[in-house]
Amino acid sequence: METSKILVVEDDKPVRNLITTTLRMHGYTCLEAAGGSEAVMMASSHLPSIVLLDLGLPDMDGMEVIRQIRSWSSMPILVISARSDDRDKIDALDLGADDYITKPFSVEELLARVRVTFRRLAHLQKMEGAESPLYSNAGLKIDYSANTVFLNGTELHLTQTEYRLLCLLAQNTGKVLTYNYITRNIWGSSWENNLATLRVVMTSLRRKLSSSKDSEPMIQTHVGIGYRMVKIEN
């Protein structure tokens, strides 16, 4: 597949080699960059499908790399970070990164994240072509034009806030949304009390979305960071 080109940005050569070898073994084409400015340049000249970005780079902060790429492209950026500090992940996601992997990670985890990102890309391309007012994920269906939600064929009665939260997650399926991003989108601010309200709304939304048929939760919690809607494969 010509489109599965991945730009791997990592200054630590053994780690970079491990990542690129793994990806190549699984049929992906890899481009490599050992620094931030090289990464920004390669992203614009080679237009990779996905960027795997280490945040700790010698010449430029990984955050700056995200900022520069986001100034002209929405290509998926998966942040790879040794920093266990959630603040970095939140900042990276708020700047427009799509997902994060914490070092040390397993090869399986890396491949799984890459697959999820490619699925998300394919889904986005399909949506663009169809301009569908309908969202469908396992038993969940959202009709954006009628503002209605169905679960396994039964209409759900959601509050306005629950509906907006569900739409926001659905429109960003596969992407981790930070608490900050969600509260700003729904309430226009990210105060502490909005966060408390978000938790309450999420609990209620999840209760309405749970059904005995779906064993896999559709909305994942990323503790201390945010939420993600996952595409359930049928």
Give the footprint of Ca ion on this chain (CB under 5 A).
Answer: 11, 54, 56
Closest approach, Cβ 58 to Ca ion, in A, equals 8
**Other CB atoms within 10 A of residue 228 CB:** 20
80 backbone dihedrals φ, ψ, rounded to 5°:
-115, 120
Nearer to Ca ion, 11 or 86 (CB): 11
4 backbone dihedrals φ, ψ, rounded to 5°:
-85, 65
Using CA atoms, how far apart are residues 41 and 101, in angstroms rounded to an integer?
Answer: 23
Is residue 69 within 8 Å of 145, Cβ to Cβ? Answer: no
Using CA atoms, how far apart are residues 82 and 10, in angstroms rounded to an integer?
Answer: 11
Closest approach, Cβ 54 to Ca ion, in A, equals 4
Q: Which of 105, 108, 44 is nearest to 72 (CA)?
A: 44
Nearer to Ca ion, 56 or 96 (CB): 56
Closest approach, Cβ 81 to Ca ion, in A, equals 9
Residue number closest to Ca ion, CB atom: 56
Nearer to Ca ion, 8 or 166 (CB): 8
Closest approach, Cβ 29 to Ca ion, in A, equals 23
